[in-house]
């Protein structure tokens, strides 16, 4: 098959077009959280690690959209909880950003690295602190998150909380006298 931007490329074969429609359908199902139909597609041969044009895996989208059953199903079928998208974001970082404790718990129980980072070095705790997601911060800290970890620019979760005006997070992370 030719690259998608090649104007001289032959149109996809009927088989390729059907496969692309099948995969697109899977991404639609996972965004909607339809774990039953997703199970059927996985049973029919959909690769659990398939990614879209932005590098988002099915697991990334299921977890980001807060679909616990679809997230569990994908993890049970072997989805990698550490697989970043093209922006370097992991499913746990997305859950931390959204403040979704149920998804974060499922991911952590499946072995997601509590301090996993993308190329910028930001941890899930940094995302939670940035957006004042105190309950998420507590979950991550209880699971061993390093509050003193530094990103590629040497910033900590506390630095992010302060820069974003996340008062509760900054208070929680501030060194105690």
**Whole-angstrom distance, CA of residue 174 vs CA of residue 30:** 39
Calculate what percentage of the chain has a pLDDT beyond 90.
78
pLDDT tens per residue, range 108-151: 999 999 999 988 999 999 999 999 999 999 999 999 999 999 99
* Residues 6 or more apart in contact with residue 27 via CB below 8 angstroms: 52, 58, 61
**Whole-angstrom distance, CA of residue 91 vs CA of residue 103:** 9
- 96 has pLDDT over 80: yes
Q: Are 21 and 13 in contact (CB under 8 A)?
A: no
Structural domains of the chain ordered from first start: 14-89 (1.25.40.20), 114-177 (1.25.40.20)
Q: Which pLDDT band, with edges at 50, 70 and 90, does 9 fall under?
A: low
Average pLDDT over residues 37-64: 93
SS (H, E, C) the chain: CCCCCCCCCCCCCHHHHHHHHHHHHHHHHHHHCCHHHHHHHHHCCCCCCCECCCCCEHHHHHHHCCCHHHHHHHHHCCCCCCCCCCCCCCHHHHHHHHCCHHHHHHHHHCCCCCCCCCCCCCCHHHHHHHCCCHHHHHHHHHCCCCCCCCCCCCCCHHHHHHHHCCHHHHHHHCCCC
The residue that leads in pLDDT, 67 or 14, is 67
Q: 0.75 exceeded by the pTM?
A: yes
In the structure encoding, which two tokens stand for residue 69, read together?
């059953």
CA distances from 116 to 51, 52, 120, 136 (A): 20, 22, 11, 15
């Amino acid at each position: 098959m030719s690259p998608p931007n090649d104007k001289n490329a032959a149109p996809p074969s009927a088989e390729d077009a059907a496969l692309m429609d099948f995969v697109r359908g899977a991404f639609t199902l996972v965004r909607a959280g339809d774990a039953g139909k997703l199970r059927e597609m996985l049973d029919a041969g959909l690769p659990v690690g398939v990614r879209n044009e932005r590098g988002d895996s099915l697991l990334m989208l299921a977890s980001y959209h807060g679909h616990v059953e679809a997230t569990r199903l994908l993890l049970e079928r072997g989805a990698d909880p550490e697989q970043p998208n093209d922006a370097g974001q992991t499913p746990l970082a997305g859950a931390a950003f959204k403040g979704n404790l149920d998804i974060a718990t499922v991911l952590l129980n499946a072995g997601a690295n509590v301090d996993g980072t993308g190329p910028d070095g930001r941890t899930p705790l940094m995302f939670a602190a940035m957006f004042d997601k105190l309950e998420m911060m507590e979950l991550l800290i209880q699971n061993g998150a390093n509050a003193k970890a530094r990103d590629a620019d040497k910033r900590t979760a506390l630095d992010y909380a302060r820069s974003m005006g996340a008062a509760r997070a900054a208070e929680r992370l501030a060194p105690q006298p």
